[in-house]
Structure 1
Amino acid sequence: MLEVRNIPRAPFPLPTAIPMDPIDAMNDFQGGGMIWRRAFTGTPDQIPHARQLVRVLLADCPRRDDAELIASELAGNAVRHTRSGHAGGEFVVEVARSGQAVTVAVYDSGSDGTPRFGTPCPTGDEYGRGLSIVVALADEVGYEAFRERGHRIWAHLT
């Protein structure tokens, strides 16, 4: 079952450029595009729901499969490696689209570290490939840290 939490209660600040009112937010942004956001409980069973959200929103997008995998990897990292995966934790998936260009972002509740893009994982390890996959699929990647409140990890596809 898909669990949705009220975004304004998220333990981290969301960008102020886009007003946030409802639980599921959909907003027009300058330049003729849309942004959608949904908050999920920070549990592994919510990762497929995050992926499904991206699949539905980008049904007609040529990069849908890449965006879907990116959302899954970023959501998985939020649950496994940040306070989003702790009891009561949450993560937020954001999808921004303008034409065929898409940005997928995941807001997490923070950790003691920072995301390490392009760091090779040891051969044979089951985990540790998520950000490498994101880097390989995206045209551009990055993150923003919000003081003691979390990160926004994003990937842009054109």
Structure 2
Amino acid sequence: MPGGLMWRRTFPGTEDQVPQARHFVRYLLADSSRRDDAEVVVAELATNAIRHTGSGRSRGTFIVELARTTVAVTVAVYDCGWGGVPRFGLRCWTHAERGRGLVIVAAVADDVGHEGDDQVGHRVWATLTG
């Protein structure tokens, strides 16, 4: 990534690590106007990795990657695979208790996407500009 910085950190695949992932992103983006949005993104993506992929299994992990340039921040979460494929385009019911995470991510991000498969895992990302 020319002209930018990148950090990665591996977390155990347990729900108590989601606040740790948020703290990691918040610390690295202390001076960014998109810090709060990045925290929301990492919390939603990490929670999805733990709940819907092999990351939440015994000894599972997830990886948080943060890439930063002068114009954008990209937050990505890598999972251990064996789970559903992220679907950002699905609408959710307003009062639903589940299924809103990717809708929220897509709403706060300028671009979203994913790559990978069940065998090697997925990289789910969101880019925030500004």
CA drift of 1:146 comes to 4.2
* Aligned partner (choices 55, 62, 67) of residue 84 of structure 1: 55
Alignment partner, residue 131 of structure 1: 102
- Where relative contact order (Cα < 8 A, 6+ residues apart) is larger, the structure is 2
SS of 1:94's equivalent in the other structure is: strand
Distance 1:113 1:79 in 2: 12
Q: TM-score, normalised by structure 2?
A: 0.94
Alignment partner, residue 12 of structure 1: none
* Aligned partner (choices 16, 22, 26) of residue 45 of structure 1: 16
Q: Which runs of 5+ in 2 are unaligned?
A: none
Q: TM-score, normalised by structure 1?
A: 0.78
Q: Which runs of 5+ in 1 are unaligned?
A: 1-28
The structure whose Rg is larger is 1
* Aligned partner (choices 73, 78, 97) of residue 44 of structure 2: 73
Alignment partner, residue 96 of structure 1: 67
Equivalenced residues, count: 129
Give the aligned residue type for 1:34.
L
Alignment partner, residue 108 of structure 1: 79
CA drift of 1:149 comes to 1.5
Distance 2:25 2:122 in 1: 20
Give the aligned residue type for 2:80.
S
SS of 1:105's equivalent in the other structure is: strand
On the 8 A contact 2:26/2:39 being kept in 1, the answer is yes
Alignment partner, residue 36 of structure 1: 7
Counting only pairs closer than 5 Å after superposition, residues 136-151 of structure 1 correspond to structure 2 as 136-146=107-117, 148-151=119-122
Distance 1:126 1:147 in 2: 26
Q: Which runs of 4+ in 1 moved over 3 A?
A: none
On the 8 A contact 2:81/2:121 being kept in 1, the answer is yes
- Aligned-pair Cα RMSD in Å: 1.2
